[in-house]
Amino acid sequence: MEKMSRVTTALGGNALTGRTMHCHLDAPANAISVCRDAAQVVVAGRSIFKIFAIEEEQFVEKLNLRVGRKPSLNLSCADVVWHQMDENLLATAATNGVVVTWNLGRPSRNKQDQLFTEHKRTVNKVCFHPTEAHVLLSGSQDGFMKCFDLRRKDSVSTFSGQSESVRDVQFSIRDYFTFASTFENGNVQLWDIRRPDRCERMFTAHNGPVFCCDWHPEDRGWLATGGRDKMVKVWDMTTHRAKEMHCVQTIASVARVKWRPECRHHLATCSMMVDHNIYVWDVRRPFVPAAMFEEHRDVTTGIAWRHPHDPSFLLSGSKDSTLCQHLFRDASQPVERANPEGLCYGLFGDLAFAAKESLVAAESGRKPYTGDRRHPIFFKRKLDPAEPFSGLASSALNVFEIEPGGGSMNWFVDTAERYALAGRPLAELCDHNAKVARELGRNQVAQTWTMLRIIYCSPGLVPSANLNHSVGKGSSCGLPLMNSFNLKDMAPGLGSETRLDRSKGDTRSDTVLLDSSATLITNEDNEETEGSDVPTDYLLGDVEGEEDELYPLDPEHAHPEEPEYVLPQEAFPLRHEIVDTPSGPEHLQDKADSPHVSGNEADAASLVPVDSSFSLLSISHALYDSRLPPDFFSVLVCDMLRFYAEQGDVQMAVSVLIVLGERVRKDIDEQTQEHWYTSYIDLLQRFRLWNVSNEVVKLSTSQAVSCLNQASTTLHVNCSHCKRPMSTRGWVCDRCHRCASMCAVCHHVVKGLFVWCQGCSHGGHLQHIMKWLEGSSHCPAGCGHLCEYS
């Protein structure tokens, strides 16, 4: 529908009409050029050279300029250009180095006019002077540019670029005598046509060949260049030094660039390789093309705006042997499809949210949480008032900060730093980690470590104090209740525990929402749930109730009855956590001290409330004989790990995974493990815990993770004297032959770890600097800077 729509533009009397259309050529095109009346287009290629009339509905072949029986390389065109003053005059550049002019006014069938065979190599580009009728410029692979006067038989002047091949030449539209040329080595030169001896100005524009350039039709000094380095750059040439105004990064090397008429900041580009589309960019918005034409099936080789004052018609030729007319209004607009919203969590739970300004403005009216303890901060992008432009997107950024103190992640950092993951026997690792967790007040975690130790280590080694301690403190929400004879039921038991905790999490968030205080549920929130402070009140009541009921129960009965324990406040079935622990003998003594100890010690399982509300379980000695192999628990442990991971405590999951190693690894699929590892490493790196993160990478058994610190291990350094890269060695510069990294303390070359002050950039051996700064706060080099070492 839309594609068929016709556009009529009134342009000073003569109207341009047409639609998006294409016609098939017999051979791939290399270049196209439009007649100044905008009604004809010439297409040239290796084996095609034709003129088409652009009619309203179709292209009509008007003339085939490839005449003669024998194929000649003179007709194998690399470029073609139509004179903008004289509609009978054309010029082509041949791949064999010949420049040919064509006069359509000739009566004979062969329109060939003149032949210049002065270039030794392929001619890449020809260009007519915009106002002068007889001046033609050519640029060739041999590194020369030649200026021809069509009234004479050979060139008027030759310009030597003194470097590699010339890729493009363009006369300035405004300055009569100036032309620009681009080179294979990345340079752009500016020449005065009257001075062939040397160029007026030269600068390096791109890394690698500069394939094309185009002068801005209105702005006097603006030159757009496109290169193999996938960039389009816009230069301001009016200043003393060419200044880069804009830079557009495309996805493939840029073969052609053409400013869009009547749109000051628009330009069209096409690529030489891989990418077949034509893009129209707004140079001020370099990341998303303003429009995109996707008609071609092979690389586009030539583009031309149909009329110098009409921005809506674009013509293109391609290697897929088609000639197309594109209508700007039919172009696909990637901006429309882009998702302009962005959302990101900060390290400490802050949330930043960017969206289109209009969208946010509409939303903010009914934002429910404004003025709450989480403060939205509002940023607005400043628009340049000098250049009002509707197409540019403006967006608003909201930042939600978490309440100070509420989202502290200190526990995470501490845990990460203090955990021991390898290098000691499993039992010690578990004990150590349990201790760490307990000291940070994370009792459930501590207990988990203890339990792991019990499962996987021989029982006789359990240190009593440790066990007592952890179990004694218990965990507020866990309500450990154990029946060692009902091991079969453990798995479901734990499952329900998971559910319990999750639903508690939900409850928590509900609560928060009811408070209308939080929009975020972050790790910390979940962590709080696990911690001891939040839901204590109602849980305590529950626990006490249980104790009364549970106490007289035989272990055999304990289990079946569990479903009956219902938390009325929460309206969901609450099952007690079942903890698998054959506990140490000392425990019994502990129990003996407890006032609540009942007489059923012989039953091997009992519930012991310690102090106020904690329940606790113990098992008699007898159990050790019927001890189950650790393999039996692996399913359970895996469930536990998944539980932690789901809770957001991926730290625990990964730590346990590393500590237990082979014992559980096989039971968790690779992908999940990898996912945990990468999440944890990501978190660690965000907290800048590089050492820990590296240790984790090193200890991981997952292929994809352990290769993380194998890749990109090269560090590039520059010499501190001459600022050149030091390619061969890290400490001696090849160019200035000086030792670049001297220790300011011992004045020797530093070959290992080099630490330096970011303020005065003096530094040296890590050890030396550390020692120095213990005694003095001034820079050891004597520069007077007060260095800081942290």
Partner 1 sequence: MLKSEDWKGKTLIVMAEGENEVRWDGLCSRDSSTRESALETIRQIVLRKTECLRSVKETTCRPSDELSNAVSLDELNKLLAHLLMLSKRCPFKDVREKSEFILKNVQELGIRIPRPLGHGPSRYIPEKEILQVGSEDAQMHALFADSFAALGRLDNITLVMVFHPQYLESFLKTQHYLLQMDGPLPLHYRHYIGIMAAARHQCSYLVNLHVNDFLHVGGDPKWLNGLENAPQKLQNLGELNKVLAHRPWLITKEHIERLLKAEEHSWSLAELVHAVVLLTHYHSLASFTFGCGISPEIHCDGGHTFRPPSVSNYCICDITNGNHTVDEMQVSSAGNISVSDSVFEVEALMEKMRQLQECRDEEEASQEEMASRFEIEKRESMFVFSSDDDEGTPARDISRHFEDTSYGYKDFSRHGMHVPTFRVQDYCWEDHGYSLVNRLYPDVGQLIDEKFHIAYNLTYNTMAMHKDVDTSMLRRAIWNYIHCMFGIRYDDYDYGEINQLLDRSFKVYIKTVVCTPEKVTKRMYDSFWRQFKHSEKVHVNLLLIEARMQAELLYALRAITRYMT
Question: How far apart are CB 749 and partner 1 at their closest, in Å?
Answer: 10
| Cα gap 306→308, rounded to integer Å | 7
Of the pair 204, 626, the CB lying nearest partner 1 is at: 204
* Contact by Cβ (8 Å): 136, 129: yes
| Cα gap 175→173, rounded to integer Å | 6
| Cα gap 550→552, rounded to integer Å | 6
Of the pair 29, 482, the CB lying nearest partner 1 is at: 29
Enter the tokens of residue 430: 């578990």
| Cα gap 272→228, rounded to integer Å | 9
Residue type for position 97: G
Question: How far apart are CB 143 and partner 1 at their closest, in Å?
Answer: 11
Contact partners, residue 637, CB within 8 Å, separation at least 6: 452, 455, 656, 660, 664, 667
Of the pair 66, 762, the CB lying nearest partner 1 is at: 66
**179: helix, coil or strand?**
strand
Of the pair 28, 221, the CB lying nearest partner 1 is at: 28
Question: How far apart are CB 679 and partner 1 at their closest, in Å?
Answer: 24
Enter the tokens of residue 674: 């990898």
Taking alpha carbons only, the member of 21, 653, 652, 663 closest to residue 327 is 21
Of the pair 80, 650, the CB lying nearest partner 1 is at: 80
Of the pair 348, 731, the CB lying nearest partner 1 is at: 731
Of the pair 157, 185, the CB lying nearest partner 1 is at: 185
Q: Is 737 left (phi over 0), alpha (psi -120 to 50) or beta?
A: left
Question: How far apart are CB 332 and partner 1 at their closest, in Å?
Answer: 20
**396: helix, coil or strand?**
strand
Indicate the DSSP class of residue 110: -
In angstroms, the Cα distances linking 231 to 250, 282, 451 are: 6, 14, 60
Residue type for position 592: A
Question: How far apart are CB 211 and partner 1 at their closest, in Å?
Answer: 8
Of the pair 154, 788, the CB lying nearest partner 1 is at: 154
Residue 305 CA neighbour count, 13 Å, CB half: 22
> Which value, to the nearest 10 degrees, does the dihedral of the CA atoms of residues 52, 54, 58, 63 take?
-20
* Contact by Cβ (8 Å): 318, 304: no
Question: How far apart are CB 95 and partner 1 at their closest, in Å?
Answer: 4
Question: How far apart are CB 228 and partner 1 at their closest, in Å?
Answer: 6
| Cα gap 203→535, rounded to integer Å | 70
Site residues for partner 1 per CB under 8 A:
46, 70-74, 76, 78, 94-97, 117, 119-122, 141, 184, 208-209, 211, 228, 252-253, 272-274, 276, 297-299, 711-712, 714, 728-729, 734, 751
Question: How far apart are CB 107 and partner 1 at their closest, in Å?
Answer: 25
Question: How far apart are CB 710 and partner 1 at their closest, in Å?
Answer: 9
| Residue 485 φ/ψ, nearest 5 degrees | -85, -10
Residue type for position 32: I
Of the pair 77, 454, the CB lying nearest partner 1 is at: 77
Please name the helix (run of DSSP H) or strand (run of DSSP E) that holds residue 754, with its range, or none: strand 754-756
| E-state strands within 601-711 | 606-607, 617-618
Of the pair 163, 517, the CB lying nearest partner 1 is at: 163
Cα angle value 775/777/782 (rounded, 5°): 100
Question: How far apart are CB 162 and partner 1 at their closest, in Å?
Answer: 14
Question: How far apart are CB 397 and partner 1 at their closest, in Å?
Answer: 33
Of the pair 71, 492, the CB lying nearest partner 1 is at: 71
In angstroms, the Cα distances linking 504 to 171, 445, 530, 574, 644 are: 74, 17, 9, 10, 14
| Cα gap 90→113, rounded to integer Å | 9
* Contact by Cβ (8 Å): 114, 160: no
How many CB atoms are located within 10 Å of the residue 662 CB? Answer: 7
**700: helix, coil or strand?**
coil
Task: Give strand pairing partners of 567.
Answer: 572
Of the pair 115, 465, the CB lying nearest partner 1 is at: 115
Cα angle value 13/16/22 (rounded, 5°): 165
Of the pair 164, 192, the CB lying nearest partner 1 is at: 164
Question: How far apart are CB 677 and partner 1 at their closest, in Å?
Answer: 21
Contact partners, residue 327, CB within 8 Å, separation at least 6: 5, 7, 18, 19, 20, 312, 313
Query: Mind giving me the DSSP string for 288-338?
Result: S-SEEE---SS-EEEEEEEETTEEEEEEEEETTSEEEEEEGGGSB-HHHHS
Question: How far apart are CB 51 and partner 1 at their closest, in Å?
Answer: 23
Question: How far apart are CB 319 and partner 1 at their closest, in Å?
Answer: 8
How many CB atoms are located within 10 Å of the residue 521 CB? Answer: 17
How many CB atoms are located within 10 Å of the residue 228 CB? Answer: 20
Of the pair 52, 116, the CB lying nearest partner 1 is at: 116
Of the pair 514, 711, the CB lying nearest partner 1 is at: 711
Taking alpha carbons only, the member of 549, 181, 489, 521 closest to residue 374 is 521
Task: Give strand pairing partners of 23.
Answer: 323
Question: How far apart are CB 118 and partner 1 at their closest, in Å?
Answer: 8
Question: How far apart are CB 392 and partner 1 at their closest, in Å?
Answer: 30
Of the pair 85, 273, the CB lying nearest partner 1 is at: 273
**259: helix, coil or strand?**
strand
Question: How far apart are CB 754 and partner 1 at their closest, in Å?
Answer: 15
Of the pair 266, 319, the CB lying nearest partner 1 is at: 319
